[in-house]
Amino acid sequence: MTRFLVVLTDVRPLEGAERNERTSPERRRQVVGASSREAADRIAGAFMALGMVRAGRQRVKVIAVGRRPKEPAHLG
Instruction: Please check whether residue 3 is in contact with residue 62, taking contact to mean a CB–CB distance below 8 angstroms.
Output: no
73 within domain boundaries: no
**Is the pLDDT at 71 greater than 90, yes or no?**
no
pLDDT band at 75 (very low <50, low <70, confident <90, very high): low
75 within domain boundaries: no
Instruction: Please check whether residue 64 is in contact with residue 29, taking contact to mean a CB–CB distance below 8 angstroms.
Output: no
The pTM of the full predicted model, rounded to 2 decimals, is: 0.76
CA distance 43 to 70: 27
User: Torsions phi, psi of 3, nearest 5?
Assistant: -105, 165
19 within domain boundaries: no
Maximum CA extent, the chain: 58
Domain interval for residue 33: 3-13+25-65
- Number of structural domains (the chain) is 1
Taking residues 52-66, what's their average pLDDT?
A: 94
58 within domain boundaries: yes
